[in-house]
Structure 1
Amino acid sequence: PALFMSDALWSEKDALCDAWPSACQLLRHFHVLQAEWRWLVAAQNNTAKDECCSFMSAFQKVYILTTVW
């Protein structure tokens, strides 16, 4: 296969890369944004709860701008 669309699971991405190293891998926008939100609210990152929404909004704007063709 030349192309895969997958979730944001590193184990899945690594397995696909091992099996088909020349294939292009795409991530669904939802899963990228979901992973960013989970990272922001994770306790070990010490992000204040009131800042999470501001950071997420900024990330979404940058992400959308950099993924528009």
Structure 2
Amino acid sequence: MRQEGKIGDGLTFHGLRHTVGKLLVEAGYDIDTVRRWLGQGTFAMAAYYTETADISQRMREVVAKFDPLGSKSRT
């Protein structure tokens, strides 16, 4: 397939795992689902394959909903 130009140079199975793990986390899947999809036996390995995921938008949503002093319920 590489000779046909369908697979780029430098593509590896582990690189593909990193890409899939990252995309699944960015799509909102939890680490256990990602672990199972990647066929990993431990959460640590799933975390390794997903560590480059950009979760900044999800964290902004958490912060927007978080009310640490409960001010909304006291007004």
Structure with higher strand content: 1
Larger radius of gyration: 2
- The normalised TM-score by structure 1 is 0.38
- The normalised TM-score by structure 2 is 0.36
Structure with higher helix content: 1
